[in-house]
């Protein structure tokens, strides 16, 4: 089982749609969880950290279920500019080593 | 302020050659990381420095790979006897301290081994 597994995608949605990404992780000792965004041929950038209580940042909502070892990202009212690859990232208990999923490509169409 | 910079942005080399990839972290960041991203994959951890020392090099694929950070700032990733399978984007990241800080990534070096 891979350490971090994501929806394989790709996702193609119209502007204004709501889209959800799912991710599971295998290391129960993981302490920190993130969603990163990566534009084509660019570096990954932190989109948001994910907390057990769930957290929201504008149109983006992240959820963490430690019991199920499951992380999600919800994007509401999607914009053309949301088109990117979304990477589920877990800190596997080491406090420094980030483990990335393969990423899910999202394309928002006009 | 300036972000993480990496040079060169692109490197094409022939199988068997030696290459060096450079990373300039954000000023004042003590932690530095190297990752490798192959096509269609997420980045994979290679090595982590805290200051001048390599605290964890468990991600280096084999002994052809080596990295240094002699003065605790700039780091160089060195690959000997390159192979076609080494072709990837090599990403460097830095963070202010060890625990829990966001890692800021550089634009990467795209290495192509012919």
Higher pLDDT, B20 or B100: B20
How far apart are the C-alpha atoms of B10 and B89, rounded to whole Å? 9
User: Among partner residues A32, A43, A97, which is closest to B91 by beta-carbon distance?
Assistant: A43
With a cut of 70, list the residues of chain A below it in pLDDT.
Answer: 1, 93-95
Query: Residue A106: its pLDDT value, please?
Result: 97
Q: Is the pLDDT of residue B100 over 80?
A: no
- Judged by CB atoms closer than 8 Å, whether chains meet at A95 and B99 is answered as yes
Q: Is the pLDDT of residue B1 over 80?
A: no
- Judged by CB atoms closer than 8 Å, whether chains meet at A96 and B98 is answered as yes
- When scoring B5, B42, B89 by the number of chain A Cβ atoms within 10 A, the one with the most, hence best to mutate, is B42
Restricting to B residues 47-76, those with a Cβ less than 8 Å away from any Cβ of A are 48, 55-56, 59
B81: which DSSP letter?
S
Size of interface A-B (CB pairs under 8 A): 48
Residue bearing tokens 């052809």: B64
Instruction: Check: CB of residue A3 under 8 Å from CB of residue A89.
Output: no
User: Among partner residues A43, A45, A103, which is closest to B42 by beta-carbon distance?
Assistant: A103
């Amino acid at each position: 089982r891979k350490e971090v597994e994501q929806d394989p995608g790709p996702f193609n949605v119209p502007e204004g749609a709501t889209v959800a990404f799912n991710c599971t992780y295998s290391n129960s000792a993981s302490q920190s969880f993130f969603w990163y965004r990566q534009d084509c041929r660019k570096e990954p950038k932190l989109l948001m950290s994910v907390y057990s209580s769930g957290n929201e940042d504008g149109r983006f909502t992240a959820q963490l279920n430690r019991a199920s070892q499951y992380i999600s990202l919800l994007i509401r009212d999607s914009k053309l500019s949301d088109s990117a690859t979304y990477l589920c990232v877990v800190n596997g208990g080491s406090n420094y080593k980030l483990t990335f999923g393969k990423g899910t490509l999202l394309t928002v169409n006009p | 302020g300036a972000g993480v910079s990496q040079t060169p942005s692109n490197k094409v080399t022939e199988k068997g050659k030696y290459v060096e990839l450079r990373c300039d972290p954000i000023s004042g960041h003590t932690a530095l990381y190297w990752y490798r991203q192959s096509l269609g994959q997420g980045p994979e951890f290679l090595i982590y420095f805290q200051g001048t020392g390599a605290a964890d090099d468990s991600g280096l694929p084999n002994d052809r790979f080596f990295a240094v950070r002699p003065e605790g700032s700039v780091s160089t990733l060195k690959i000997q006897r390159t192979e076609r399978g080494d072709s990837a984007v090599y990403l460097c990241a830095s963070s202010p301290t060890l625990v829990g800080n966001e890692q800021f990534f550089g634009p990467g070096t795209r290495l192509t081994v012919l």
